[in-house]
Amino acid sequence: MTDLDVLVVGDANPDLVLRGDVVPRFGQAEQLLDSADLVLGGSAAITAVGCARLGLRTALLARVGDDVFGTVTRGWLAERGVPLERPERPQQPDPTGLSVILSTPDDRAILTLPGTIPTLSPADVTDALLGRARHVHVASVFLQPTLAAGLADVFARARAAGVSTSLDTNWDPSERWTGIRELLANVDVFLPNTAELLAVTGCDDLVEAASTLVAGGTTVVLKDGARGGRVWSPAGEYAAPSVPVDVVDTTGAGDSFNAGFLAAHLGGAPLPEAVAWAAAAGSLSTRAAGGTAAQATPDEIRAALKLA
C-alpha cells in the first residue's frame, strides 16, 4: 500500500550552529560568539522536514542512538510531522551523530562526529518500505559507507517496484568520489552542487559534466548557490534564479532546495517550475539559523515566485 509520497534515507542528528567570530585560533585563545543554536541536522532529516512542510507525505529512515541527542532528534522530527522509520536493532551503543557548524554570512565549515550515521545498512531499506513510497530520496552517502556499498541494489529494487529515485551525495570527506557514476545508472534525479557535480564526473566544465550524466539517463538538478538552480535533462536545460532574502544562515539550504524540487516534481510540475520551486525553497530557508526553522510553506514559495 502506497501511503508515502517520499521516503528519505540517510542521516539525522543535532547541529550546533555557531555564528560570529568562528574561525578558531589555537593557543587557548577565547573567542566570543554572536549566537549558538542547537537544531535538527542531517541532510536527510532536513530534506524530509522540508518535504513534509511542503505537503508531501514523508517518512525518514535513519539511525539515531539511545542517548540525549537521539531523544531530541526524534522529538524534533515528531514535532514536524515526520515519522522516523528506525531499524529494529538491539539497543544502539554508538552515540547519535553530531555536527558543529561554524557559520559566516558567505561560507561555513562543518565538523561532524559520525556516531550512528554510518550504521544504516542496505538491508534496512526493505522491500516493504519501498512498496509504501512513490519516491525514494537518499542523502549523505559518503557518511554511510555500509549503506553506500549496497545502494546500487536498493536503487535497482526501487526501479523494479516502480518507485522513482533521487540522490544527494553531499561532500566526500575523502575526496575520492568513488562509486557514484555506477549508482546513477538507476537514479532518476541527481541533486549535486557545483563542486560535487564536477568531482563526481571528473570534468572541468559544468555543461560537459551534466551532459555526461544525462546521456546515461539521469536528470541533473544543480544547486547553484546564490545564482539559484539549473536542470539538465533529456527534455532540455532550464535555470531559475534565487529569490532575495536577508540571509541569517545558509546551513541546510541545499536540503531545502531538494525538498522544493521534490514537492513540485512529485506534484506533476514541469521541470522549469520544479527548479524554480527548488531555488525559492533554498533561498527562503536561509532566513533563520539551522536547516528547518525557516523552511518555506507552499504559499510562501508561490508568493516569492509571484505565483499567488
User: What is the average pLDDT score of the chain?
Assistant: 94
Q: What is the pLDDT of residues 181-205, one digit of tens each?
A: 989 989 999 999 999 999 999 999 9
**155 Rama sector, left if φ>0, alpha if ψ -120 to 50, beta otherwise:** alpha
Q: pTM of the full predicted structure?
A: 0.95
Mean pLDDT, range 52-60, rounded to an integer? 98
Q: What is the pLDDT of residues 105-134, one digit of tens each?
A: 778 898 999 999 999 999 999 999 999 999
Please report, for residues 33, 39, 100, the alpha-carbon distance to residue 36 in angstroms, rounded to integers and kept in the order given. 7, 10, 10
Q: Tell me how crowded residue 24 is: count the other CB atoms within 10 A of its CB.
A: 10
What is the model's pLDDT at position 106? 77
Query: Does residue 93 register a pLDDT over 80?
Result: no
Q: What is the pLDDT of residues 2-45, one digit of tens each?
A: 899 999 999 999 999 999 999 999 999 999 999 999 999 999 99
Query: Which of the four pLDDT bands, split at 50, 70 and 90, describes residue 307?
Result: low
Query: Which of the four pLDDT bands, split at 50, 70 and 90, describes residue 86?
Result: confident
Query: Does residue 89 register a pLDDT over 90?
Result: no
Length of the chain (residues) = 308
Q: What percent of the chain has pLDDT over 90?
A: 88
Query: Does residue 249 register a pLDDT over 90?
Result: no
* Residue 300: CATH number of its domain: 3.40.1190.20
> Does residue 266 contact residue 12 with C-beta atoms inside 8 Å?
no
Q: What percent of the chain has pLDDT over 70?
A: 98
Query: Which of the four pLDDT bands, split at 50, 70 and 90, describes residue 139?
Result: very high
Number of domains the chain is built from: 1
Q: What is the pLDDT of residues 189-248, one digit of tens each?
A: 999 999 999 999 999 999 999 999 999 999 999 999 999 999 999 999 999 999 999 998
What is the model's pLDDT at position 308? 45
Structural domain span for residue 296: 4-304
